């Protein structure tokens, strides 16, 4: 502002200066011309007068001595030349007249001859400068001429050079100071303008339209800011409540936005703001980086990432921003499998999904299938093998009954297995007809003990049943199955000469009468990591599927189902090599599960 | 000019983290080859080569920055710390590769030694991860935690050593295998030392103070 005003002021001053110079010089020039002419006329008259009285000698007094060339003639003295009628120079005050040429053809001389006087301004060959000549015809016909150096416009200007320079300096200083002051004065009220809600009557009325526009835009900006804020809040609410990790990156792998889930899933620091950081600061897994790189190259990519015990699926998707249509930026995601040219990719969206549970379930299903087929196949294989041997007649007739016994046993096992499966599937359906009856658990346990006499004897295991007579309402066939399976397991997974203790006790839990059935054994125990899984169907701690122990892998699964059907709970404590205690808690009153 | 300097500093930061990530991967490979017994030697060798290549890359980047930009104060500290850190990372890479290479000879060792070495591997791996994390987050507390964890790994190494001495004093022990085991344990102990060094340099680049853990390496 100061610069601009200074420029203007300075320019204006200079222009005015120049114009005034022109005018002054013009006026002065005319004035000086007139003055010289008048003076010369007067002088010529005096000299003519003098000559007529004194004669030629009068002129000798004007001669400038020692300066024949006339180069250093003092200028304030006018030069006097006397020329005869026929043009011969008779006298010259500054120059030796004998050297001078004929002067009759000089303009002023001729003029004087004709009109009595002549006046001219021209360049003098003799004096070599601009000269004013005035010639006058004397009475005897000769001509007297005066000449004087003439001040040209240029010389006037030169003589004014020094004051001019001083003037310019003054102008510069003054205009600088002035413009600074002016700028301050002009700007001060503008700077003090209240753009948001000031009064309309401002110091400069020229500014009112501008102010109006500014205020209008202020309102608009405010509205847009509000909109943006709402959108931001919405976006944040959306991403923050996602369980999936969410990252937005630009083309240079710099993080633009991310949500809490992403931080939690990948284990980044919660105290750090990763916005503007490279993705590698967020997480260093190769799978993530490679997925991002691929997406930046324009390809939608997926990869699995293992982070400790969790398994994540990472989906990286290139973002393509299409040309702006009516001020709205259309963001498009590349569909699966579509390849976007790299130069069109503007950024990447990364979604991180926790697939640990899914992976686990898949694993379980795979194991279940392999277990069940194994359980079914083993007895069938031996049945078919033995039957084949008999068919081919390799077996001696007296051994046939032994092999038949094997077939019978294996078939029995298969039937047991199928029965168990049927039992379980009936429980699953829960549509099976059942009769709720009172039953004495202690008596039932004793019955079960009787049924298990044979396997007990094989390992010399003693079963102890202690507790009180408890009557509970339930489905006797199911409960018998529970007791049978628990005791059977206690025997099967016991050591030689071990013992199984069954304790049945009634108690009250928050005013609800309940019964607890505790089955303790002194067996091999269950490893910690398998304790949760032994209730799964066909799950075996011993993965070798050895038939040394037998069993179907369904026992505890049935127990769990029945207990759940009766709204009870199961608790398991087991120490490897010491024994297992399974405690089942059941309500005495039967109510159907929802 | 400054702007260019900043981008180059950012690049340096990124390359360092990448190098750290490579070291983590290599350590993960050692754990895998020790536990699963799969042969990862070729894979680990390729990664180790990459670490070496990155070391020279980062080194020349640091030199370029030092000579052309003549950084001062914090920037100078960061760059000089980076120069030291990469040599530690390179050593971690080397030692991880060594572990992977001898892992197959200790396949048949007893369960308890295996668990012991696994514990060392986990501790050393976590230290490396934490030191890189401390660098990424400029986290002084984490860097100090790494330096403290070094003692724990040293203790584990001592326990391991005593165990192995006892096993070797028994007659039927497979001497070669247990010597290899000792080597692996020593390698992990060295890796932990290098992680400590990295943590020290991280601390130095933040505070300008070189805190020594009284350990040479």
For B205, the 3-state DSSP assignment is helix
Extents of the domains making up chain B: 2-207
Is the same domain home to A135 and A230?
Answer: no
Is the same domain home to A280 and A235?
Answer: no
Mutate to test the interface with A, among B7, B11, B17 (most CBs of A within 10 A): B17
Q: Is A272 on the interface with B (CB under 8 A)?
A: yes
Is the same domain home to A264 and A403?
Answer: no
Is the same domain home to A486 and A544?
Answer: yes
Question: Does the residue A233 lie in any domain?
Answer: yes
CA–CA dist A400, A390 (Å, integer): 7
What DSSP string runs through A221-284?
Answer: HHHHHHHHHHHHHHHHHHHHT-SSEEEEEETTSBEEEE-HHHHHHHT--TTS--TTSBHHHH--
> Among the three residues A304, A333, A354, which one is the final residue of a domain in this structure?
A354
> Among the three residues A326, A354, A382, which one is the final residue of a domain in this structure?
A354
Is the same domain home to A267 and A233?
Answer: no
Measured CA distances, A67 to A79, A98, A148, B99 (Å): 12, 14, 17, 118
Residues in chain A: 594
CA–CA dist A443, A446 (Å, integer): 5
Q: Is B21 on the interface with A (CB under 8 A)?
A: yes
Residues of chain A found within 8 Å of residue B136, distances taken between Cβ atoms = 281
Is the same domain home to A260 and A339?
Answer: yes
Of A269, A284, A289, the CB nearest to B137: A269
Question: Does the residue A191 lie in any domain?
Answer: no
Of A272, A278, A284, the CB nearest to B132: A284
In this structure, the strands spanning A301-307 and A331-333 are unpaired
CATH at A507: 3.30.565.10
Q: Is A174 on the interface with B (CB under 8 A)?
A: no
Is the same domain home to A376 and A295?
Answer: no
pLDDT of residue A489: 85
Question: Does the residue A528 lie in any domain?
Answer: yes
**In a structure prediction context, what are the per-residue pLDDT tens digits for chain A, which is 594 residues long?**
778 888 888 888 889 888 988 888 788 778 877 887 888 888 888 888 887 777 777 777 677 654 444 444 444 467 788 888 777 887 877 777 777 777 777 778 888 888 888 888 777 766 667 788 888 888 777 888 888 777 666 676 777 788 888 988 988 888 888 888 888 888 887 777 776 665 655 667 777 888 888 888 888 999 999 999 999 898 888 888 888 888 888 888 888 888 888 888 887 777 778 888 888 888 888 888 888 888 888 888 888 888 777 888 888 888 876 654 444 455 555 555 566 677 777 888 888 888 888 888 888 888 878 877 887 888 888 889 888 888 888 888 888 888 888 888 888 888 888 888 888 787 777 655 677 888 888 888 888 888 888 888 888 888 888 888 888 888 888 888 888 888 888 888 888 888 888 898 888 888 888 888 888 888 888 888 788 788 887 777 776 655 556 667 778 888 888 888 888 888 888 888 888 888 988 888 877 654
| Closest CA–CA distance from residue A282 to any residue of chain B (Å) | 8
Q: What is the mean pLDDT of chain B?
A: 85
| Closest CA–CA distance from residue B65 to any residue of chain A (Å) | 20
Question: Does the residue A452 lie in any domain?
Answer: yes
> Among the three residues A306, A329, A354, which one is the final residue of a domain in this structure?
A354
Is the same domain home to A269 and A323?
Answer: yes
CB A243 within 8 A of CB A261: yes
Secondary-structure breakdown of chain A: helix, strand, coil percentages, each rounded to the nearest 5? 50, 20, 30
Q: Count of domains in chain A?
A: 5
Q: Is B24 on the interface with A (CB under 8 A)?
A: yes
Question: Does the residue A163 lie in any domain?
Answer: no
Question: Does the residue A168 lie in any domain?
Answer: no
Q: Do B17 and A281 count as a contact with CB atoms less than 8 A apart?
A: yes
CA–CA dist A120, A97 (Å, integer): 21
Question: Does the residue A543 lie in any domain?
Answer: yes
Is the same domain home to A259 and A334?
Answer: yes
Q: Is A286 on the interface with B (CB under 8 A)?
A: yes
pLDDT of residue A315: 87
pLDDT of residue A220: 92
Is the same domain home to A383 and A425?
Answer: yes
- Number of Cβ pairs < 8 A linking chain A and chain B: 27
Question: Does the residue A396 lie in any domain?
Answer: yes
Measured CA distances, B72 to B14, B52, B204 (Å): 21, 28, 15
CATH class (in words) of the domain with range B2-207: mainly alpha
CATH at A22: 3.30.450.20
Tokens of A550: 């037998």
Is the same domain home to A303 and A338?
Answer: yes
CA–CA dist A344, A284 (Å, integer): 27
Residues of chain A found within 8 Å of residue B25, distances taken between Cβ atoms = 286
CA–CA dist B166, B186 (Å, integer): 17
Is the same domain home to A213 and A304?
Answer: no
Structural domain span for residue A516: 435-587
Residues of chain A found within 8 Å of residue B24, distances taken between Cβ atoms = 284
pLDDT of residue A222: 92
DSSP state of A569: E
pLDDT of residue A128: 67
Burial class (CB within 10 angstroms; exposed 0-12, middle 13-18, buried 19+) of A384: exposed
CA–CA dist A295, A55 (Å, integer): 121
């Amino acid at each position: 502002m100061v610069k601009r005003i200074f420029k203007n002021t300075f320019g204006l001053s200079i222009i005015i200066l120049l114009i005034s110079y022109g005018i002054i010089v013009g006026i002065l020039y005319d004035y000086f011309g007139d003055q010289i002419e008048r003076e010369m006329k007067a002088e010529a008259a005096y000299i003519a007068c003098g000559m007529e009285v004194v004669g030629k000698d009068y002129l000798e007094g004007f001669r400038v001595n020692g300066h024949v060339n006339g180069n250093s003639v003092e200028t304030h003295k006018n030069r006097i030349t006397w020329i005869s009628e026929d043009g011969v120079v008779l006298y010259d005050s500054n120059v030796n007249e004998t050297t001078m040429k004929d002067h009759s053809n000089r303009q002023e001389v001729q003029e004087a001859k004709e009109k009595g006087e002549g006046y001219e301004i021209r360049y003098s060959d003799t004096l070599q400068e601009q000269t004013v000549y005035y010639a006058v015809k004397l009475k005897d016909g000769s001509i007297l001429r005066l000449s004087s150096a003439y001040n040209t416009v240029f010389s006037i200007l030169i003589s004014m050079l020094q004051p001019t320079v001083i003037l310019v300096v003054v102008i510069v200083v003054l205009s600088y100071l002035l413009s600074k002051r002016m700028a301050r004065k002009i700007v001060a009220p503008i700077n003090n303008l209240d753009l948001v809600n000031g009064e309309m009557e401002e110091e400069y009325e020229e500014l009112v339209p501008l102010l109006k526009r500014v205020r209008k835009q202020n309102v608009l900006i405010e509205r847009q800011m509000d909109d943006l804020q709402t959108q931001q809040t919405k976006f944040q609410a959306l991403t923050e409540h996602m369980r999936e990790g969410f990252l937005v990156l630009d083309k240079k792998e710099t993080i633009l936005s991310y949500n809490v889930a992403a931080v939690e899933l990948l284990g980044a620091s919660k105290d750090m703001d990763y916005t503007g950081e490279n993705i590698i600061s967020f997480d260093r897994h190769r799978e993530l980086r490679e997925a991002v790189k691929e997406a930046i190259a324009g390809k939608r990519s997926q990869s699995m990432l293992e982070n400790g015990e969790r398994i994540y699926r990472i989906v990286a998707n290139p973002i393509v921003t299409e040309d702006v249509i009516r001020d709205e930026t259309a963001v498009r995601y590349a569909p699966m499998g579509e390849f976007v040219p790299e130069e069109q990719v503007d950024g990447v969206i990364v979604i991180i999904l926790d697939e640990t549970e899914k992976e686990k379930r898949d694993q379980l299903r795979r194991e279940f299938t392999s277990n069940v087929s194994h359980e079914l196949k083993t007895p069938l294989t031996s049945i078919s093998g033995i039957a084949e041997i008999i068919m081919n007649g390799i077996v001696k007739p007296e051994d046939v009954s032994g092999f038949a016994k094997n077939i019978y046993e294996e078939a029995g096992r298969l039937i047991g297995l199928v029965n168990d499966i049927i039992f379980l599937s009936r429980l699953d359906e829960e549509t099976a007809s059942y009769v709720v009856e009172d039953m004495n658990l202690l008596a039932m346990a004793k019955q079960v003990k009787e049924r298990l006499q044979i396997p007990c004897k094989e390992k010399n295991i003693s079963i102890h049943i202690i507790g009180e007579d408890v009557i509970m309402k339930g489905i006797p066939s199911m409960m018998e199955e529970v007791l049978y399976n628990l005791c059977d397991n206690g025997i099967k997974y016991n050591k030689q000469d071990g013992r199984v203790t069954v304790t049945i006790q009634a108690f009250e839990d928050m005013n609800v009468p309940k019964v607890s059935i505790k089955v303790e054994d002194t067996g091999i125990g269950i490893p910690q990591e398998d304790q949760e899984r032994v209730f799964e169907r066909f799950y075996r701690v011993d993965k070798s599927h050895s038939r040394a122990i037998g069993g179907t892998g369904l026992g505890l699964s049935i127990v769990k189902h029945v207990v759940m059907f009766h709204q009870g709970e199961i608790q398991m404590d087991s120490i490897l090599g010491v024994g297992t205690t399974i405690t089942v808690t059941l309500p005495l009153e039967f109510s159907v599960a929802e | 000019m400054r702007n260019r300097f900043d981008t180059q500093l950012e690049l340096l930061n990124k390359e360092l983290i990448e190098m750290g990530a490579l070291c983590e991967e290599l350590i993960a490979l050692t754990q895998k080859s020790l536990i699963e017994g799969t042969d990862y030697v070729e894979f680990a060798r390729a990664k180790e080569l990459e670490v070496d290549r990155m070391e020279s890359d980062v080194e020349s980047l640091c030199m370029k920055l030092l000579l052309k930009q003549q950084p001062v104060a914090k920037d100078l500290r960061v760059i000089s710390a980076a120069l030291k850190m990469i040599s530690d990372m390179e050593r971690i890479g080397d030692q991880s590769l060594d572990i992977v290479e001898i892992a197959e000879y200790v396949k048949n060792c007893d369960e308890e030694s295996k668990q012991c070495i696994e514990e060392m591997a986990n501790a050393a791996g976590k230290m490396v991860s934490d030191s890189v994390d401390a660098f990424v987050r400029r986290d002084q507390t984490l860097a100090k935690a790494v330096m403290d964890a070094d003692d724990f790994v040293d203790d584990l190494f001592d326990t391991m050593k005593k165990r192995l001495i006892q096993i070797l004093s028994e007659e039927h022990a497979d001497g070669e295998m247990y010597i290899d085991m000792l080597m692996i344990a020593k390698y992990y102990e060295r890796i932990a030392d290098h992680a400590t060094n990295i943590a020290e340099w991280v601390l130095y680049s933040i505070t300008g103070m070189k805190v020594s853990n009284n350990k040479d390496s």
